């Protein structure tokens, strides 16, 4: 039932538990056939990075991811959708972002999770600053054109309903 699901969106400094977030969607129901999760982690760039500092726009970060999530719920027949984005200092190996999409069949879940991540990367108000392993402060991470292109491809793609 597209549109029936209210997405969960959280912006938080603390880590999240992927299994717990899946369980919140699937617990007590027997109609979900597919759960796709995407976790984005902080890399150390071959030892170069000590951490990433994630700055965000409080209020708008929730609102913008919420708008993207509502669009995903309208485009795919989902039974659950969760997006969590962390802010603050995040060390290599730690989680940054989580998307969980649940549906009757896998295709909708895969596509919705992919769509949410593509839009989140180019529209959610977060900015990464590097902290270098040698103790110095690195620079702000540059936005990638490939991320904008990844988001724009969904404008042509017709929504899949099966």
Partner 1 sequence: MSTRLIYFAWVRERIGKPQEDVELPAGIETVADLLRWLKSRGEEYEHALQYPDVIRVAIDQEHVEHREKISGAREIALFPPMTGG
Of 25-33, 54-62, 105-113, 153-161: span binding partner 1 (CB under 8 A): 54-62
CA 6 – CA 38 distance, rounded (Å): 19
Alpha carbons within 13 angstroms on the beta-carbon side of residue 31 total 5
Q: Is 138 in the site for partner 1 (CB under 8 A)?
A: no
CA 26 – CA 43 distance, rounded (Å): 30
Query: Which CB sits closer to partner 1, 105 or 127?
Result: 127
DSSP-derived pairing of the beta strands 137-140 and 126-132: antiparallel
Instruction: Give me the phi and psi of 95, to 5 degrees please.
Output: -70, 145
Nearest to 158 by CA among 120, 124, 111, 121: 111
CB of residue 105 to partner 1, shortest distance in Å: 26
Q: Is 146 in the site for partner 1 (CB under 8 A)?
A: no
Per CB under 8 A, the list member of 2, 10, 57, 104 interacting with partner 1 is: 57
Query: Which CB sits closer to partner 1, 33 or 59?
Result: 59
Q: Is 13 in the site for partner 1 (CB under 8 A)?
A: no
Q: Is 123 in the site for partner 1 (CB under 8 A)?
A: yes
Query: Which CB sits closer to partner 1, 27 or 136?
Result: 136
Q: Is 128 in the site for partner 1 (CB under 8 A)?
A: yes
CB of residue 108 to partner 1, shortest distance in Å: 21
Instruction: Give me the phi and psi of 132, to 5 degrees please.
Output: -85, 155
Q: At what angle do helices 60-75 and 106-123 cross, to 10 degrees?
A: 150
Q: Is 72 in the site for partner 1 (CB under 8 A)?
A: no
CA 124 – CA 57 distance, rounded (Å): 9
**Using CB under 8 A as the criterion, which residues of the chain lie in contact with partner 1 when the complex forms?**
40, 54-57, 59-60, 63-64, 85, 96-97, 117, 120-129, 140-143, 147
């Amino acid at each position: 039932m597209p549109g029936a699901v209210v997405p969960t969106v959280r912006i938080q400094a603390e880590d999240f538990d992927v299994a717990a977030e899946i369980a919140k969607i699937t617990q007590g129901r027997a109609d979900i056939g597919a759960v796709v999760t995407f976790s984005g982690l902080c890399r150390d760039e071959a030892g170069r990075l000590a951490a990433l500092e994630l700055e965000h726009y409080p209020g708008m970060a929730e609102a913008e991811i919420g708008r993207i999530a509502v669009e995903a719920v309208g485009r795919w027949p989902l039974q659950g959708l969760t997006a969590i984005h962390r802010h603050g200092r995040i060390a290599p190996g730690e989680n940054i972002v989580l998307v969980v999409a649940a549906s009757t069949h896998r295709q909708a879940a895969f596509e919705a999770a992919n769509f949410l991540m593509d839009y989140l990367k180019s529209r959610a108000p977060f900015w990464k600053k590097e902290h270098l392993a040698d103790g110095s402060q690195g620079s702000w991470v540059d936005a990638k054109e490939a991320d904008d292109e990844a988001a724009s491809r969904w404008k042509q793609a017709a929504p899949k309903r099966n």
